[in-house]
A and B are shown apart, each in its own frame.
Chain A
Amino acid sequence: MLDKLKADFDGIMELVNKTPAPLQETAFKMILEQWFSANTARKPIPPPAPLGPGTPPAPGSVPDSIKPFLTANAITTEILEKVFHPTGPGAQLLASSIPGNGKANKLVNLSLLLCVKQALESASFTCTLKELRELAVHYDCYDSPNFSSTLKANKNYYKPREKGADLELSGPGLKKVGESIKSIAAGE
């Protein structure tokens, strides 16, 4: 295992150096933890009792597919648990209100959070406009005449799409939602 660590170390340092200086120590720690958990031989886990066809993965466990996003944004499981419950399939947004000033800001933050909610469910950072509208009505940040223009004005947070198509987070979107999650968890 030591040989493999030596071989991977440069790659790890390269990743760490990409993060801002104040976060490098945290990033190094998190990446190293991930490396050990991925490369350490584990005790065999007995298979779970069969629940039936099409059963989703166990609720509550963070899917592996979104761990790189969490690591890159220094989001620990404790932070994530303050925003989503459970932090796996079936995830629900815990926030009683959405951060942001005004309906437009709230709508954008909501769309980003919904993409993470979907990623906890199915590993893709996407969100349907139908779900966004339903949640926006629920959180009172739905401004119908400006719905499209608000999303358009913040298009850098989403991958290019046709009008009416689902939203998918871009790099800046992932970064922005990482900040939102930490801000919500900190009670700001």
Chain B
Amino acid sequence: MDVAQVLEDVLEELTSIQKDVNKLKTVSVSGQVLRKRVKDTHKNWLPVSGVLEAGNIIDTAQLQEVAVAWTALVKLANNASPKKLYKAQLKIIITKTESELLHRFIKGSAIQTIGDTLRKLVQPIADTELLKYLDESIRCAETNCVRASVVLAWCAVAHMVHKKLTSLGFATLNAEFARMKADKGLMFRAFTKDYVFSTEPDVQEAADAHLILLCRFLTYLDDTQYKHLKSALDLRNGCGHPTGYQPDPVKLQAYYADITQLVLLNPKFA
């Protein structure tokens, strides 16, 4: 069963019934046709309700709330009942079905398939160190921990950036940072920090923002690539600190597409 499609159909019919009820000039809903439409729509709702109940995407309490409103609405449709009672139950069902059931179901089914999508993106990566982070990140995504997934995937990016920069040798790395500090170009003039590295942990302690700026300075990234990687770092920082931002699976997929293309599969970082 295409759950989203059935829920959309139910909502379409309920919205139409709601309009017709609102148009009535009588105090009660007595017409057989309208009452039958309510009962028919309820019959369409029941199987999808069963599917949602058996699944693990929808909160049972929310589903129960909609089910109670449906029971009340069908009871009203058994006899001529006051219009205002219809309006109240219809409003509850439509609002809850849309926001608490359908939207959650769509987001939930995106979570259920996100793992496959992300694994496809990282499939060409062979580095076992990177794969450790990425596998953990994808498993987080599959359990709807999107922020944790973003942070862990960045660990793979940081690992690769550290590895590449360390491979230059500390003397060269220190010299390149000094050269970048001296550069008065638009992109680099705000960088004023002095770095002296003598061990790998020193590099790991440097701010990621400065390390990727150096990658731009060393032309591992062009301006556009740098801009997108900086956005990915901003997302990582938003997810790694207490903020109100909650990225959805669509955002996570775009983030993964960026980091794989810009760093993880970029031959300049190999």
* Partner-B contacts on A (CB < 8 A): 51-52, 54-56, 59-60, 81, 85-86, 90-93, 129-130, 133-135, 137-138, 142, 144-149, 163-164
Contact = CB atoms under 8 A, between A and B. Distances in A.
A90 B260 contact: yes
Contacts of A59: 260-261, 265
Nearest to B251: A138
Interface in B155-184: none
A129 B3 CA distance: 12
B124 A145 contact: no
Nearest to B14: A145
19 contacts: A51-B124, A52-B126, A86-B261, A90-B121, A90-B257, A90-B260, A90-B261, A91-B257, A129-B4, A129-B5, A130-B109, A130-B113, A134-B107, A137-B103, A137-B107, A142-B106, A144-B103, A145-B14, A148-B9
Interface residues of B, number: 37
Nearest to A146: B12
Contact of B5 (A93, A149, A164): A164
B189 interface: no
A124 B173 CA distance: 46
B15 A145 contact: yes
A148 B126 contact: no
Nearest to B121: A90
B106 A55 contact: no
Contacts of B228: 85
A51 B260 CA distance: 14
B124 A134 contact: no
A138 B248 contact: yes
Contacts of B103: 137, 142, 144
B224 to A, nearest CB: 8
- Top 3 nearest A-B pairs (CB, nearest first) are A138-B250, A51-B124, A145-B11
A130 B250 CA distance: 12
Nearest to B94: A145
Interface string B96-120: 0010001100110110010000001
Given A51-B124, A55-B123, A134 B249 contact: yes
B123 A149 contact: no
Contacts of A81: 224
Interface in B58-117: 94, 98, 102-103, 106-107, 109-110, 113
B7, B106, B251: residue with the most chain A Cβ atoms closer than 10 Å:
B106
Given A134-B107, A144-B8, 16 more contacts: A51-B124, A52-B126, A54-B123, A59-B260, A59-B261, A59-B265, A90-B260, A90-B261, A129-B4, A130-B113, A134-B106, A134-B109, A137-B107, A144-B7, A144-B103, A145-B94
Contacts of A90: 121, 257, 260-261
B2 interface: yes
A129 B253 CA distance: 17
A161 to B, nearest CB: 13
B258 interface: yes
B250 A135 contact: yes
Contact of A148 (B12, B110, B123): B12
B109 to A, nearest CB: 7
B196 interface: no
A135 B106 CA distance: 10
A86 B225 CA distance: 10
